[in-house]
Amino acid sequence: MLRHRERRMASTRVTRGPWLASIVSKTSLSRIKRTALASLTSVFLLPADCGLAQQSAKTDVGSAAAADQIADIFSKVGDQIYEDCIFELSQEQIEVQLALIQAYMRQGASGAVARRLAATQIQPPKLSARCEQVRRSPEASSSSWVTKLAIPKPPAVKTAPKLPPEPTAPVISLASKKGLPQWDCAPNVDFVTIHLNGYERKLTGGEICNPFEDVVSEVPASVRNFKLGYTIKTGRLFIISDNPQASGKTIAWGISGRDVCRNNPDPDCLAARAVGPLPPGEYSFAAEQDRRVSWGPRTKRNVAGIYLRKLWSKDRFSAQQAAAILARGNIAIHVRLKGEMSEACIGLEPKGWAYVASLIKETRATGLNVYIDEPYPQIAENPPVVVASSFSLSSLFK
């Protein structure tokens, strides 16, 4: 009896180690998630720009090490548990869902109808067969889904003289800015306007207006190593290669920037933390292959952390704008879920993210260059936006 009890206690003990690696086989997945997220929130609480660490203003120095540090932060949360499985709404989706309820009620819908529509429209993405099997399993019995909660003890803090506060980034006002017209709703599309973090966002059926189609073009197998290119104005992600037959070819399409700053290279947008798109320049991935794509605790999904090595187009920015850009948080590439926009990251549609993530994991993609204007206008396609919508305002009163 005693040995049985000891074995039972041992099977449920959470041990400490360098980071997450193994947890009890008899702990349900939901308990694993709650434990990991709750315990790590206070340890890995990160800034607003996609939940990443602050960027140094010295963008040309130590970029590989900085990218590794970002990846190390992500990896501590145990992407072995989740991989590409997203079991719950993101924080932004929860906020969008609540804002939709309020918007529908302002249009005259009853509370019950508003809640039903918002719950139907904003849901976690459909799980793959593997993720669905894990979700339905009463126990996380597979060793590949086992983790160990590891929270290192904080080092002893020695008393040190008080230092002057670090200078904060200049405040950039977007009060007079308007979104680019190509991202507005089509004339024949019904939409409701929600208010989120001080900005207006038009949604149709719970989705932003004019999202990109989830189209992917594979990189030719003959092109083993290349850089990714991204154009802020259009959202186009493409190949940069010495191979003239492949260079400039589109891979996928992604959103960067939120609301009035969606894919908007206006200098004030680029300088606006948590709203503007990612700045133009040269970016690095993590040096180690197994850290290139890992779990982002704030985004609740896998991300590819990137680090700005060199800011481009400095002549377009005032001293205040440049200082604000360099004070922004580091950014990432990740999947975009329904209703979401991007906090300075590149948000790809699910198929696009899955393919681009594989290129980054396999180290075929060696870096990222971000441009304001299209560098390959002769071969660049128009953005494949979805202008149609089945949402009807009359559905609010059914």
The domain spans of the chain are 212-389
The radius of gyration of the chain's CA atoms, rounded to the nearest angstrom, is 22
Residue 59 pLDDT > 70:
no
The two structure tokens encoding residue 42:
């206070």
Residue 362 pLDDT > 60:
yes
CATH of domain 212-389: 2.40.440.10
- If you average pLDDT over residues 249-258, what whole number do you get? 97
Higher pLDDT: 53 or 73? It is: 73
pLDDT at 329: 74
pLDDT at 158: 56
Residue 97 pLDDT > 90:
yes
pLDDT tier for residue 37 given thresholds of 50, 70 and 90: very low
> In this structure, what are the phi and psi dihedrals at residue 71, rounded to the nearest 5 degrees?
-65, -35
Cα–Cα separations (whole angstroms), residue 351 to 84, 131, 276, 340, 354: 12, 16, 24, 16, 5
Q: List 311's β-bridge partners, or say none.
A: 281
Q: How far apart are CA 212 and CA 252, in angstroms?
A: 9
Residue 255 pLDDT > 90:
yes
Residue 42 pLDDT > 60:
no
Across 162-176, 288-302, 363-377, the highest mean pLDDT is recorded for: 363-377
pLDDT digits (tens, 9 = 90+) for 291-338: 899 887 777 789 999 999 999 999 999 999 999 999 887 689 999 999
137 alpha-carbon distance from chain centroid: 28
pLDDT at 50: 63
Residue 61 pLDDT > 80:
no
Q: How far apart are CA 288 and CA 268, in angstroms?
A: 34
Q: Catalogue the E-assigned strands of the chain.
A: 192-196, 199-204, 207-208, 226-231, 236-240, 250-255, 281-284, 294-296, 301-311, 331-335, 346-348, 365-371
User: Quick one: what percent of the chain has pLDDT higher than 70?
Assistant: 70
pLDDT at 79: 37
Closest CA to 227 of 165, 110, 306, 166: 306
**For the residues of 162-225, what is the DSSP string, one character each?**
PPPPPPPPPP---TT----GGGSPPTT---EEEEETTEEEEEETTEESSPBP----PPPTT--S
For the beta carbon of residue 164, count every other beta carbon within 10 angstroms: 5
Query: Hey, what amino acid is at 388?
Result: A
pLDDT digits (tens, 9 = 90+) for 183-207: 999 999 999 999 999 999 999 999 9
Q: List 212's β-bridge partners, or say none.
A: 385
Task: Find out whether 281 and 55 touch, Cβ atoms under 8 Å.
Answer: no
Over the range 369-379, which residues count as b (16 or more CB within 10 Å of their CB) and which as e? bbbbebebeee
Closest CA to 274 of 185, 129, 172, 182: 172
pLDDT at 155: 56
Over the range 39-67, which residues count as b (16 or more CB within 10 Å of their CB) and which as e? bbeeebebbebbbbbebbeebeeebeebb
pTM for this predicted structure: 0.74
